[in-house]
Every structure is written in C-alpha cells, then in structure tokens.
Amino acid sequence: MKILFLDTAHPFLKKELEENNFSCDEDITSSKEEIEKKISQYDGIILRSRINIDKQFIDSFSLPSGKGRFIARIGAGMEHIDVTYAESKGIKCISSPEGNRNAVAEHALGMLLNLLDHISKANAEVKSGKWIREANRGTELEGKTIGIYGYGNTGSAFAKILQGFGVKILAFDKYKKNFGNAQVKESATDEIFSNTDVLSLHLPLTEETKHLVNTSFISKFKKNIYLINTSRGPIVKTDDLVKNLESGKILGAGLDVLEYEETSFELIRSSTKIDQPEALQYLFNSNKVILTPHIAGWSFESGEKMARILARKIIELK
C-alpha cells in the first residue's frame, strides 16, 4: 500500500508503516493543485491541516480514477476534511485524538489555575518592579462546579485530571449518553447553566457549534463564569466574549484557539494595532485573558502518542 505524507509527523509513524510493508513518500511543500495531479497513485494520505480535503481533491483521490482508501489525520479535528463525501466514495477517514487528549487536559487545567491565581498577571507585575498582593488574591478551585461541554476524548480526559481537586464535575454531550460515573455527572444543559463556575469547551467545529458561545448562550448561566477553550476558535464568538468580559459575566478566559486564528498572527507580525480587529486587541491587552498559540495538544509526548495510534489504525486497514 502506497502512502503520501502531506505534513511532517513524528518519525515513528513512517518507520512503523515501512516496517509493515507500506511504501511512504513525502510532499510537505507542493500546493493542493499540484498534489491533486498525482494523488491518484496513492492508497492513503497522512496530514495535519495544511490542505483542505474537499470534493475536488477527493474526486482525484477516489475510484475509478484513483486508488484512494484512507485519509489519516494526525490529531483530532476533521473540520478541514469533507468526511461525509470521502466516506461516500469508500474512503476511510481516521484520526488520533487519543494521542493528545492528556496534553489538552493538562493545558486546560494550567490555563484555569493561571486565571484563578492571576499567575501571568502577577508574574509580569513582579518583573516590572511591582509587588501587588491584594489585587492578585487567588480563588481556590476546590468546591467549584466545572461544566464540561463535549465529553469525547479531551472532555473525559479533563474530567479525569480534575478529580483530585475536590470539584463537582457536570458534563454535557449532545451525542453521547450513559457516560456518567461516580466522579462525573451526566447533565442536561439546564443543570450546566444553573450551577457552573467554570465552563470548558471540548467540541468539534461544525455548522452546529460555530459561534455556539455567544451572548445568548452566555446569558443563560446563573453565575458569572470562567471560560476555557482548547477546542476550536470559531466556537466562541469573540465580539460577544469581549462584551461579557467587559460586563463581568465572564470573569476570565483561557483561550488556546482564536476565532480568526489563520490571520491573527500575521496581523501581529506585519500590521499596526489599528489594523487588528478591535476584539483581538482587547484579548491581547486584557489581564483577564490567557492566550496560547493552539498548543494545548502539542506536547513532546503527544507527537509520539499520536504517531503510534495512527500507525496502528492504518495497519489494521490492510
């Protein structure tokens, strides 16, 4: 079976596949159009998110013109792949969310503790010569209610890592049932809205979840809350997030992903602040917001874990 790598991957993946009699080529620089011209000769492709796998690409990859059997994603999100169309053409779509779920959970916890204890803010102040204690008084996690929205790989991993903190964990998942246990209460949205102190998002990006977290959604929470998003940026409507940070309805936000992620860092490097969206400027300047560059699942350990999991899944397709 012949495979084309479209993105870099942990060396274990290529090595393991070749040891199991797969032929592996790499092309991590050619354009989508260039790859479409040759993709018909491959049985499978492996990628992160460099290329959008749309109907045109899939038609070039699938039978009768192509040999396409599988699309393998290093990571979790599949929003850049037209999975429904691919599978209608007999192409299997697989990913490796099991490999980075612990990294995401630890990162989400780190962001939450940072917010509650003002760690980044206090660090910056001390390094600039300011010794401010009262304004940086922390809030303990113990006794709080954590609402987890989406209980797949990362949501369940976050619940697991929270269990030593003396918190109450409520979890909602529209597409899963009977997943509750002694530590996690399977909950309806009304219970989440009524009791949550901290909301952590663990959702895929779909038409259904885009801008799910907007002012209407946020206003349903009885308490003022902290928000953690390690899933996908467009799930949160940034303009509405800013309005609720300003009003105090959202006490603080830890964001590993941004709604306009593809352009935001280009704006930082090459444009003046005047050219940046106003909401983005607010996030940059607010001491109630922790930002990281989409690295929650990107640990040294997760790279190899994802490679091992994806290799096993691909080998099982033979």
- Catalytic annotation, residues: 232, 261, 294
Which of 152, 134, 135, 144 has its CA nearest to residue 113? 144
CA distance 146 to 217: 17
CA angle 44, 45, 48 (to 5 degrees): 150
Which pair of tokens denotes residue 318?
A: 């033979």
Q: Which residues of 201-238 are buried (b: 16+ CB within 10 A; e: fewer)?
A: bbbbbeeebeebbbeebbeebeeebbbbbbbbbbbbbb
Query: Does residue 39 come out as left (phi exceeding 0), alpha (psi in the -120 to 50 range) or beta?
Result: alpha
CA distance 115 to 287: 9
Give φ, ψ of 291 to 5 degrees: -120, 135
Give φ, ψ of 117 to 5 degrees: -110, 10
